[in-house]
Amino acid sequence: MRGRVGAVAVVVAVMMAAACAPVKITPATVTFTPDPVVTRSPAALPPADPIPVVAWPLTGVNASGATAAQFAQPAISIKIPNDPGGHARPQKNLEYADLVIEEYVEAGIPRLIGVFQSSYPDEVGPVRSMREMDPNIVGSFAGPLVFSGANPYVISYGKSTGQKLIAEDLGSYGFFRTKDRYAPYNLHVRFADILAQSEGLVAPPSQFAFAYPSSLATATATGTPTTHIALRLSSYGEPKWDWDEASATWLRSEFNDPDITVDGTRLAATNVLVMFVTININQGLPVSQMIVTDSPGFLATGGKYVPILWSKADRTSPYVLTTTDGKPVTLAPGKTWIELIPNGGIAVGSADFS
């Protein structure tokens, strides 16, 4: 018994001695393996802001290259004939217009208003007479209306509106006759002389909202695809527009003939804006109603079209465009043709999207 106790004591003593002995710690081996070398490129630059710092008010096109004087120049609206039969067409320098408006006059003959602001050619022609609706059509552009002739009532009405009128028969200057056609289709006007008689007039306010980039324009983004637009103004005017992908514009034809200027330039537009108008008869002449609320129409941009409503509160108010459910409409930056197509009383406007 005593022997066992002694043995236990020895074991305990050994254990205690072991417990008191220093402990040697061997660190774990750690191996670091570097990742493969990664070549990092600088972060791509953000896309350029598509909204120009300054844009031409009637086209929405970047105007950063224009001088202050050029940007401030007035919008000059010129009455231009568009009669069929080879008398009025082709016109001189119509391709320089920012806006072109086609209207219905007596017997359904089409007449144009070319509106020039971002680019002035030396001359434009032929120049023809004013109609009663013209001051309302161009009043929001804040510039002069240039024409040749009108009956006494129309002249009196035009003066009463406050619209700046420049016409040969009102004593204005700058008009001249060419030798290539007979009167009245040979009257032209010089821009330098128009400007000299437009002192105090300023650049127009913007008439439409523009989308940047143009792919966000209302018709382009949400419209129905079409490559051909056929309109009937009257038996004297059937403008047609064909989408040209290469130039991203609508190419204009009259009936089935390409519409070109004197120098052979095909007339084209980035936007084709059709406004259906009601025709009234006043003083024996057809007058398109231009002070309207929510009148129908459609807008074609980017190879597509969308129904719209258009409004104009008064003579000097800009045109307001919305979708049929009231949302704002945007155009693509570029030239716009406005077709005022009668929808009752005189002729029926129709659009064929084939």
**pLDDT 10s digits, 18-65:** 444 455 544 444 444 455 555 556 666 666 668 899 999 999 999 999
Q: How far apart are CA 354 and CA 351, in angstroms?
A: 9
pLDDT value of residue 86:
73
> Is residue 42 assigned to a domain?
no
315 located within any domain: yes
* Domain contains 24: no
Kindly state the average pLDDT of the residues 102-107.
95
Q: What pLDDT score was predicted for residue 36? A: 59
What pLDDT band is residue 273 in, cutting at 50, 70 and 90?
very high
Q: What is the average per-residue pLDDT within 248-258?
A: 96
Asked if residue 81 belongs to a domain, the reply is yes
- Does a structural domain hold residue 53? no
> pLDDT (tens digit, 9 = 90+) per residue, 142-194?
999 999 999 999 999 999 999 999 999 899 999 999 998 999 999 999 999 99
Mean pLDDT of 300-307: 96
Q: What is the mean pLDDT of the chain?
A: 87
Q: Which of 348, 128, 101, 126 is nearest to 235 (CA)?
A: 348
Judge whether residue 349 has pLDDT over 60: no
Closest by Cα among 99, 62, 96, 140 to 336: 99
Cβ-Cβ contacts under 8 Å for 332 (sequence gap 6 or more): 60, 210, 211, 214, 217, 220, 270, 271, 301, 302
Structure token pair of residue 41: 């490129």
Give CA–CA dist 6/327, Å, rounded. Answer: 105
pLDDT value of residue 40: 59
Q: Is the pLDDT of residue 13 over 50?
A: no
Q: Is residue 326 part of a domain?
A: yes
CATH number, residue 316: 3.50.90.10
> Could you tell me the two tokens for 129?
């007479």
pLDDT confidence of residue 244: 98
DSSP-based three-state secondary structure for 297: strand
What is the three-class DSSP state of 254?
Answer: strand
**pLDDT score recorded for residue 41:** 60
When mean pLDDT is compared across 7-16, 145-154, 260-269, the lowest value belongs to 7-16
The answer to whether residue 16 is domain-embedded is no
Is residue 3 a part of any domain in this protein?
A: no
pLDDT confidence band for 84 (50 / 70 / 90): confident
Domain that holds residue 175: 68-352
Domain count, the chain: 1
Q: What ranges in the chain are assigned the alpha helix state H?
A: 2-20, 68-71, 134-138, 152-160, 191-196, 218-222
